[in-house]
Structures are given as structure tokens and as C-alpha cells.
Amino acid sequence: MDVKRRGLLLGGAGASAIWAIARLAKPEPAQAQPVTRWDREADVVVIGSGAAGLPAAIVAQEAGSSTILVEAEKDIGGHAITSGGNVPLGGGTSVQKKYGIADSPDLLFRDLTDWSVVEPNGFPDYRYNDREIIRAFADNSAACFEWLVAHGVIFVDQAPDARGGNSVGNSVPREMHAAVMDWPMVQTGKPADPAIQATFSSGNGLMRPLEAAARRAGVDILLEHRMTAIHRELPHSGPVLGIAVDNNGAIINIRARKAVVIATGGSTGNVNFRRMFDPRLTEEYCGLAGMPWSNQDASGEIAAMAIRASLWGLFNQSAEFGYSVTKAGMIGCQYGYRNLQWMPGSAVFARARATGLPVANWQNVILVNMLGQRFFDETAEQFTANDYNSIDPYLQGSWRNVKTVNYNPRNFLNAALAGIGDGHNGGGPIWAIFDADAVARARWEPTPPNVDSDGGFFFSAATLAELANKIVMKYQRVAMPPENLQATVARYNSFVDSGIDEDFGKPKPLYKIEQPPFYAAWATPVLHDTRAGLRINARCQVMDLNGEVIPGLYCGGESAGGFSQHGLARATCQGFIAGKHAAAETARL
Ligand SMILES: Cc1cc2nc3c(=O)[nH]c(=O)nc-3n(C[C@H](O)[C@H](O)[C@H](O)COP(=O)(O)OP(=O)(O)OC[C@H]3O[C@@H](n4cnc5c(N)ncnc54)[C@H](O)[C@@H]3O)c2cc1C
């Protein structure tokens, strides 16, 4: 660092001066600014109220450390509250024991570091996991589960199974399911049908009880407080001292006497950040799962990197397994993740704008790129991931396991992301094209609020040529030639006649597209998990580029790297670990 500049800033700000990293609106090299005033303070400051943040805050507060939790959005929960509530915590939980499932921290650890588990695309689920991080998860997994139960989360009363998660280990069933109970659901704005409240699994049933526990414990929850910077004594050395937050335009500084916990939920919503892992993931992938309830804008990662934090486990983000990139399941709307449908009663429906048309049978549509050309078998599926019994027979760490893997790359998503060969990155919009007969078969109502016509995610017309001409929206960077769409549909219809898809091998194409009106519905792939993030150690302390701990800085959940697993278990458990160690720090007076 420039010593003269440092002296100036310290001198100008007096003895209590510290450095702040300038606002993070853009991921650019940060500018240092002196901070002279703290508006709030607590022992521990947690950033983000999702699956990692709420447990971290509750644990810290209950351990006797006053805790402030800041949340960017108007409500708590993050992606976790929109989730399916399937929580693969294992290692010997009370429920596993009750149902005679023999699990242990060692078994869990070996499962999640098994080099021999490989997906049909050839990608290993666990090979690049950080052993130290997985060991900590395995050792704390069962305790975290019991802690959730003790803090009001009610799990569906059944044996753990294999439903809902991925990359959770092959040896034994570990999935538990948070019952929604009578908590209003963020997706609909109202409680679920009483008949299914104890059996229907939902992130609402995980996060609302944790919110209540946090409030009971005395955690100070500040909504609409978006962290914009992390303050460190000096930009590249010394302890972390607090954070800057933006509260509806007012910037305030919150001091953390002991520690700051980053639980901001990952980075796939940040176009430039995600493209470091995969250059194909350009702007048109605007329908991140979990949005618009909350974003994953990489703000935690970028703030930490500005004070020298390192990223970690980067392979896991680009690898072809799990849900990092998913096939759309709702079409005709921006937010088309298959397991999340926004209904008009939701508090965020004005931002979601449409429920989307759920696709149960891809025979009802063809999928075309910006040029109106098909690119793959529409019925093909997305990437897979390891779960209980995915490999059968399975022998941990055995060379024999690969013999049971049928190498057969699932390439739908790769074809969708391939682009149109014009030198641009990104696959561009993918449109589902269908006709009035498909609408009748699928029982769709292709009108608002089911589809988003005003936003440019849905079009209809009396002819195919007219339809192609109508497709104008911000991500359609070249016009769709009407003759292309007409030719594509005519050729596809001929495949229905012959029963053979000569271009892409779709199993027996069933339905012609011939009955007006014709429709084009947004069906572009949806981004989801972040599986790479900040480097942490077993205590969830953030590490810098020299492999040194950044004093007073912790991280858990999707913003932390080194752990390839879908969601809630690793996030809750790392929040649980981070909260404990953050509270155990010595307060800086
Ligand atoms: C639809 C859907 C279904 C899912 N289903 C499952 C499932 O069944 N099982 C499973 O294991 N996983 C599931 N997941 C994944 C799981 O929800 C996430 O992996 C998990 O919530 C990640 O926890 P987190 O704490 O890292 O992030 P989140 O839960 O997303 O929480 C991050 C929070 O940080 C806030 N935040 C971000 N930046 C800032 C900032 N700068 N300042 C202040 N606050 C900020 C966000 O607004 C958000 O509230 C699902 C996800 C989705 C979207």
C-alpha cells in the first residue's frame, strides 16, 4: 500500500480512523475511504437472513453475543424460504436412528469426498470438495438437525429418503422435509391447504420458525439494509471491524465488536461474476431460481475479495452436475424455475409478473433459438447428481463404481447455451413454440397473469410468420427470420408424420404444430445454485490469498466455496458453525 496515502487517511480521520471499501454497486477495484462514525454496533453482525444467516445469528445471540442481522430485502428468508424445504442433514440424526438408518460423521464424510462418484456427463460430484470443510460439515450435521428441531422447525414425520436434494451422499437416506405447517407461503401469500400442512415440505416451514426463534432470542433484524462494503482495519490486513449498509439510500456503518458473518447466498445472479466460471452465462439468463424474492448478486464475495479474501473450489461451479444451470419448467415468464411458481397473492408477484405455464410434457412444444431453429430433443433432461442409491451397487471409494455409470452425456443445456455461431457468447433466448391444440392438451390458459406478454416473455399470432416478427424483447438481439420458423415447424410436422425426428432424435414426435393461434413462450435455461465462493476453513473463517485467516470474518452457505452440494444442509450447518465461532471471538473494545 502507498504509505504516504495511508498516513494521510489515518491522519485525516484521527486515531479512530479505519478503512472502508467503497460501495459495491459494480465489481470494480474498490477505493478505500476512511470511516469515522459507527451508527450501530453489536458483537456479531450477520449479512443475509437465509438458510445460513438465520442460524448463524440465532446461535451467536444465544451464546451471549448481541447480534445484528441485516437483510437486503423487505422480508427474511432468501432462497431458502422459496425452497422445497428438503434438508439432507445426516451423520446419525435422531430420525435416522429412529428408522434404523446407520449413518455416522465418518460415513457422511467419506460419501461427500468419494472420488469415484461420477455423473453420466463424466463429472465427479465430490472429487474437488475441500476435505477440511466437509469434515466440519460431517461432524456438525446431526447436531445442526437437532438444533433446527429444538428451534421450532417441524419435519414431516417419516423416514429420511432421497427426495429433493442432490450431491448428498450415496450410502444412506438423509433427506428430511420441513413441514410447511400453517405458515403463509411466500409463493401464494397464504397458508397451504390444512390437509397437507404436516406433510407438505416447504422452505416456509424451515425459515419462518427460525425467524421466530431469532426474534425470541433478541436478534436485531434490520430489513432493507443492504451491505455495500466490509470495513477492515487496513484494506489488506488487520481485523474486520464492521460493514456499511444501504438502507433505502441512507448509508450507515455497523460496527461488529467480534465478527461479521457473510451469508449473502451466492453469485449466480451477477452476470460478470458468474461468467468468470462460464463465459456462456450472459445477460439473457435473467430468471434465476429464487428470484424475485431475493437475488444472488455476489455482494458478499465481492466485498470480501475487496479486503483480500480468496475464492475456492472453483471447479464445482462449472461442472456438469446438479442445478447450477437448469432446464426451464415454467414457460412464458421470466422466472421459470421448475419447482417455483409465483401466484398472484405473493408479495413479490408485481415483480414476478406471471405464474408461467407449467410444462409436464415436452411433446407439446418445440424449442427454438433466436433464429427460429431447433437445437435438441425437447424431451431431453438436465444434468444429474448423486443421491442416495444413485449408484447401485455402491462401494465407497471403489474403482468398481465407475463401471456402473452409463457415460451418456446429457447435453440439452449445452446445446441451449451454444449460441448461434456469430461470435457472441450465450445461447440467447430459447422459445417454446406451440399451437392452439397444445394449449387444449396441456390445459393452459395463455393469458396474463399466467404469461408475461408486457415484459416480452410471451407472444401469440395468427400465423407463424407473424409470430416470428412479433418476437421483440431486450435479449432477442437478432430478429427471428419468419421463413426459418415456418421451415422449422414444417420440418417438425413432417417428423410427426414419419414418427422419426431425423434432426435430434426426439422419441417419436407426437403432435403437429398447425392450429392457430401460434405461441412463443420464454423457455430459456434457469440458473440456480452457486457451488463455489469464498475460501473458508473448518470454523467457516474466511481466508485470504495467502491462505491466512481474515480475523473477524466468517462465511457460510452458497457464498462459501469448497463444498459441492445443493443447498439447505450445507447452508444451515455452516451458519450453525459460523455463529458458534463468531460468538466465541474476543470482543475488540
Ligand atoms: C426454488 C428453490 C428451491 C430449492 N429447494 C431446495 C431444497 O428443497 N433443498 C435444498 O437443499 N436446497 C434447496 N434450494 C437451495 C437452497 O434454498 C439454497 O441453497 C440456500 O437457501 C442457500 O442458503 P444461503 O443462506 O447461502 O442463501 P439464501 O438462503 O439465498 O440467503 C441469502 C440472503 O442474503 C441476502 N443478501 C444478499 N446480499 C445481501 C447484502 N448485500 N446485504 C444484505 N443481505 C443480502 C438475500 O437477500 C437473502 O435473503 C432451493 C432453492 C430454490 C431457489
Residue-wise pLDDT for 42-67, tens only, equals: 999 999 999 999 999 999 999 999 99
For 269, residues 6+ apart whose C-beta sits below 8 A from its C-beta are 288, 291, 295, 296, 297, 298, 527
**What is residue 15's predicted lDDT score, i.e. its pLDDT?**
31
What is the chain's mean pLDDT, rounded?
A: 94
Check residue 201 and report its DSSP letter.
B
Report pLDDT digits (tens) over 362-394.
999 999 999 999 999 999 999 999 999 999 999
Q: How far apart are the first and last CA of the chain?
A: 26
For 245, residues 6+ apart whose C-beta sits below 8 A from its C-beta are 70, 222, 225, 226, 227, 228, 251, 252, 253, 254
Grid-cell match 390437509, residue found: 195
Grid-cell match 456479531, residue found: 44
**What is residue 71's predicted lDDT score, i.e. its pLDDT?**
98
Residue at 259: amino acid letter: A
3-state helix, strand, coil in the chain (%, to 5): 25, 20, 55
What distance in Å separates the CA atoms of residue 267 and residue 271, rounded to the nearest whole number?
Answer: 9
- The closest residue, in CA terms, to atom 3 on ligand 1 is 83
- Cα 424 to ligand 1 centroid, rounded to whole Å: 31
State which of 343, 568, 573 you would mutate to test the pocket of ligand 1, scoring each by most atoms of that ligand within 8 A of its C-beta.
568
pLDDT at 16 > cutoff 80: no
Residue at 458: amino acid letter: F
CB 341 within 8 A of CB 330: yes
What mean pLDDT is predicted for residues 316-340? 97
The model's pTM is 0.95
What distance in Å separates the CA atoms of residue 546 and residue 523, rounded to the nearest whole number?
Answer: 43
Ligand 1, residue 569: give the atom nearest the CA: 11
Pocket, ligand 1, Cβ cutoff 6 A: 47-53, 70-73, 77-80, 82-86, 164-165, 226-227, 263-266, 289-290, 294, 297, 299, 337, 339-340, 557-559, 566-569, 571
CB 164 within 8 A of CB 201: yes
Report pLDDT digits (tens) over 533-547.
999 999 999 999 999
- Count each helix (H run) and each strand (E run) in the chain, helices first: 17, 22
Q: pLDDT band at residue 33, thresholds of 50, 70 and 90?
A: low
| Closest by CA position to 335, among listed 213, 201, 455 | 455
- Cα 269 to ligand 1 centroid, rounded to whole Å: 12
What mean pLDDT is predicted for residues 160-167? 92
- The closest residue, in CA terms, to atom 48 on ligand 1 is 78
- The closest residue, in CA terms, to atom 41 on ligand 1 is 227
pLDDT at 122 > cutoff 90: yes
Report pLDDT digits (tens) over 537-589.
999 999 999 999 999 999 999 999 999 999 999 999 999 999 999 999 999 87
- What are 278's three cell numbers? 462460464
Q: pLDDT band at residue 34, thresholds of 50, 70 and 90?
A: low
- Cα 445 to ligand 1 centroid, rounded to whole Å: 31
Q: pLDDT band at residue 235, thresholds of 50, 70 and 90?
A: confident
State which of 79, 153, 204 you would mutate to test the pocket of ligand 1, scoring each by most atoms of that ligand within 8 A of its C-beta.
79
Collapse the DSSP code of 479 into the 3-class scheme (helix H, G, I; strand E, B; otherwise coil) and give the result: coil
